[in-house]
Structure 1
Amino acid sequence: MPELPEVEVVRGGLAPHVDGRTIERVEVLEQRSLRRQQGGPEAFARTVEGTRVARLERRGKFLWWRLQDAAGQETGQALMTHLGMSGQLRVRTGASVPSPAQASATDGTGAVLLPPPDPAAGEPRGEGPASDPHVHRRVVLHLEGSTLVDFVDQRIFGGLWTSPLVATEDGLPASDGSPDDLLPEDVAGIGRDLLDPSLDRDAAIAVLRTRRAPVKALLLDQSLISGIGNIYADEGLWSARTRYDTPGNALTRGRAVRVLEGTEAVMRRALDVGGTSFDSLYVNVDGRSGYFARSLAAYGREGEPCPRCGGTIRRAVLQQRSCFYCPACQRPLRVSSR
């Protein structure tokens, strides 16, 4: 599933193509991709068509488009996007939809796909077959200037919908770079992420240290800190030398700080190289894959040596999720009296 770095890469890649442009028409090819839209596809088209994209914003794994009317006034609505397990936003500019033969030779936009990861070369195996940008196209947004944005989603877990804007509870900017405190109502219950300068880190650390749940489960709790998924939780915990099943209330303040700092650092490194791509289930808006899979220390490395101590990376299961860790340098912690 795309996590914070991947969604931020998509936001940054998409913004130059859509900022300031009018959404002229919506083409719905798969109604299930609009299942969260109140009123269905008709209401979605009625709310979105004819609006101007003021800017793109993100919190955690949620991406939204701030909309204005023809007069340049905010409509009070946001176009929500969640990529789910395999969602992509792909940009086409003034080009027709490629034929299946053309799509098989490229990624469907003219950009040649990177070769799949090679396990023999130390690259993690893929998590599923690549999405076909022609077959798995679900919704098309037609923007002025012959720009088309395709929502491609093989597994149809993601989607588009609209949500009214509300004020943040803390009165601070809705996201990193946001000019005001307005955010979609459907994001109001989502915690700030580690790249958001308005995140109250002391409060987040305090919550981590009072919970009895495993620290990995706490990192995946989107209401506490958003944007962290399986990959970056495992990598952040490896960085902080902390086992996935360590109870939150076993963390010293210093260790809790190291967990958050380690997770933030690994996400920033991933962001610098376009995110993590095991295959073409996640690509940027122009079809490029991210390179961070080649730098993973623990995730997907079962049976391989730990880059830090040489121990063997193991895989465990916690709450039906795979957890990759090094038993030699990520040892169990006991709850200490504080």
Structure 2
Amino acid sequence: MIQAVGREMAAPEIKAIEDGIRRELRRMAGDPETLKLSADDRLLEAANRARAAFLGEKALKARRDALAVLKHAQIETALESFGTDRIAGLRHLLAFHADAKGSALSVESRAEAIEAEAFSQMLGTLEATSPRVFGLFENPEGVRTLVRELFGEDTGLPDARKGAAEFHTVAQLLKERFNRAGGKVGHLEDWGMPHHHAQRRVAAAGEDAWVEKTLPRLNRQRYANEDGTPMTDEQMQDFLRHAYQTIATGGINKIEPGAPRGRGMEANAHSEGRTLHFKGADDFMAYQEEFGEASLYEVLVGHIRGMSDSIALVETMGPNPEHTYRLFRDSAQRDAVLANPKRRGRVAKEL
């Protein structure tokens, strides 16, 4: 293990690889090909995958550090055009202003441009090749057909197949662009479409009822223990109870009193949470009917819009935009107050 990555390793790094091996064993549990391997060969394969993932994480960290330095320099350059009024510069960097001051594209304008480009590609292709696909959103049977195609189920309807394929293409392009900016969204073989949970409905159902109704709809092959054995009913129920608390409270259960608020590193957004793996389209739709509120169109559009917003943030302010913003905000406020202490109260309200 000490030489697992070609150099001397610290204890935390060794633990990270050991945790990685356990994680890979769980992932391999649902793979028919790896299940053919002997226990020793499966462990070796998991170790090789964990090693590759560890080295990938190190490379990603180095890339994120480099991107953070680059974005800080770009922001500094953008603020220079505002002279001593760096607070105004930050406002222009975040949102569109009609006065056309500043040299940098705002986060808001960038997000709108990314979203418009994504929709233009998806809708333009569909209008040219399968214009009837838009009618599928207008009736329940059409929606069911689209969802089945999104989950890879052949419905025999070319328009629905083309619509699903085009959404997957655009979603993949957005994911790749997000990752190039320092994000980390992996590949899920069975990912069909984004999930939607109506917090109000989930909370109203209660924990026991939600767990009872959700468990039979999940693909149990996607849930395994560290040694690769399938999770038991009791383990699955425990997993779902934790998931329920997060969904029903909107994530409030994860907040530590007194700890800094916020999403943390934006580049890690979209890399977790896809933990409910449904058996197929029918189980997904049954769940959505009971615990969702958004229409299929709203879910797909919401995914593109959310990815566009995240891409705009990391492309403008780096992998950890919240930290970057606080850094430049605090610096701008300090300089403004030092230059004119009488403005202290006003400065605090400007950002």
- The TM-score, its normalising length taken from structure 1, stands at 0.24
The one of the two structures with greater contact order (alpha-carbon pairs below 8 A, sep at least 6) is 2
Larger helix percent:
2
Specify the structure having the higher radius of gyration (Cα): 2
